Amino acid sequence: MISRIVGSVFLLLALTVAGIPVSAETLTGRVVSVADGDTLTVLMAGNRQVRVRLAGIDAPEHDQPFGQRSRQSLVELALNGSATVAVWKTDDYGRIVGTVTVAGIDMEAEQVRRGLAWVYRHYSNDARLLALEAEAKAARRGLWADANPIPPWDWRHGEAGVVHPEPAPVRPEGAWRCGAKRTCREMTSCEEARFYLTQCGVSRLDGDKDGTPCEALCR
């Protein structure tokens, strides 16, 4: 317990020194889904699901080179892990923006170190992240293997007038309703299966009682 408190204090100090907005609020829970290389969902106490945007970084979009690799990297790092979220703010999409740590690993820093995300310069001047980005670029790691990788904020504005907007947050819960589905065969995604398990109590979706529904979808 003491080590966790000390660790949190050091994290807050590090964020303050880096000039990063720090909220007094800290969230904890289990990572139940990963949308892309910088966005995940945390299941908190009371079966409350919170969508979290990793602070200070911007990962390639789904249709952008290295977009799928970036997402898979975050899946490997975070999915089903116990997460601590140091909250910065809530963004215009209704997502929590915060620094996320899973198993002692800073998700933002590791994605940048792997060359699978940029430092989001419009929102962060974190010297530590910038140094990791420079290291990944020098090593031509991940997306830096491309001769001229396009940052996501430019990709979203597109080339030749084509606009690729940042995807609006997925809110499928509004389209799901308890009682509509009851078997894994009817589920179209892991998030949908988790909704029916945690929000509707469809226990048959978790046959082995390990907390993970429809293992074929939620592997």
Q: Which of 51, 53, 71, 114 is flagged as catalytic?
A: 53
61 is catalytic: yes
Residue 190 has phi, psi (to 5 degrees) of -65, -40
Domain boundary assignment for the chain: 2-155, 172-205
Residue found by looking up tokens 């215009």 in the block: 92
CA angle (204, 179, 182) in 5-degree steps: 30
What pLDDT shows up at residue 101? 97
pLDDT value, residue 175: 57
pLDDT at 57: 96
Per DSSP, what are the bridge partners of residue 50? 42
- Please state which CATH number belongs to domain 2-155: 2.40.50.90
| pLDDT for the residue 219 | 63
pLDDT by residue, tens only, the chain of 219 residues: 544 444 444 444 444 444 444 455 899 999 999 999 999 999 999 999 999 999 999 999 988 999 999 999 999 999 999 999 999 899 888 899 999 999 999 999 999 999 999 999 888 888 999 999 999 999 999 999 998 999 999 998 775 344 444 444 444 445 577 777 888 888 777 777 877 777 777 888 888 776 778 877 676
Whether 4 is a known active-site residue: answer: no
**Catalytic residue, candidates 30, 69, 95, 156:** 95
Q: What is the pLDDT of residue 166?
A: 46
pLDDT reported for residue 177: 74
d(CA 137, CA 38): 19
The confidence score (pLDDT) of residue 173 equals 44
121 is known as an active-site residue:
no
In the three-class reduction of DSSP (H, G, I as helix; E, B as strand; rest coil), residue 194 is classed as helix
Query: What is the b/e burial string over 126-146, where b = at least 16 CB atoms within 10 angstroms of the residue's CB?
Result: bebbbebbeebeeeeebbbee
Active-site pick, 51, 61, 113, 114: 61
Strand intervals (E) in the chain: 26-36, 39-44, 48-54, 57-58, 82-90, 96-102, 105-106, 118-119
